[in-house]
Amino acid sequence: MVEYKYELTDALDATGSESQILNGGIMTTSYYDAIYDPWTGELLGYEPVYASYPYQQNLEFDTKENTCELTTITNGFSEISTSYWSWGDGSSSKEILELNGQGFMIKRLTNKELELYYELKMEEETVKVSMILEKE
């Protein structure tokens, strides 16, 4: 997996918003921390918090068994998990890819690259996920 981006936006509470970006083997996480007056408890504002660390992911699809194997490597440890994938019901073939039951819109599909996108809007929150996978 070359690039991964996750964003959660909470319109009512800034501390509920966060993002994660994986690019070039580095995961960067950001969120907002609330700052309060120590004497009155009054909300003074929000402060962005960032953290970066080495992180790698590999996603391998098996087209015969309809499984995909996700290998995650962080801090020298690797974890392998297997899940299922299928083509989703779209107006045309190869428009939606389902991973573990979650439907992703296919933005680009070539022999070397797959770009997926997912967006969920709730009352006050919006979740956006985009992934770009390249064939090794």
pLDDT digit string (tens) for 7-46? Answer: 988 888 888 889 999 988 899 999 999 999 999 999 999 9
| pTM reported for the whole predicted model | 0.77
CB 100 within 8 A of CB 107: no
Quick count: other Cβ atoms within 10 Å of Cβ 99? 19
pLDDT at 102 over 80: yes
Phi, psi of 96 (to 5 degrees): -130, 135
pLDDT recorded at residue 13: 83
Quick check: 100 pLDDT over 80? no
The pLDDT tens digits for 47-96 are 999 999 999 888 888 888 989 998 988 888 999 999 988 887 655 667 88
Distance CA 58, CA 20 (A): 17
Report the amino acid identity of residue 84: Y
Do residues 17 and 29 make contact, with C-beta atoms less than 8 angstroms apart?
Answer: no
72: Cα separation from own chain's centroid: 13
Q: What are phi and psi of 24, to 5 degrees?
A: 65, 30
pLDDT, position 14: 81
Task: Report the pLDDT value the prediction gives residue 103, as an integer from 0 to 100.
Answer: 87
The mean pLDDT value of the chain amounts to: 87
Q: Locate the domains of the chain by residue range.
A: 3-134
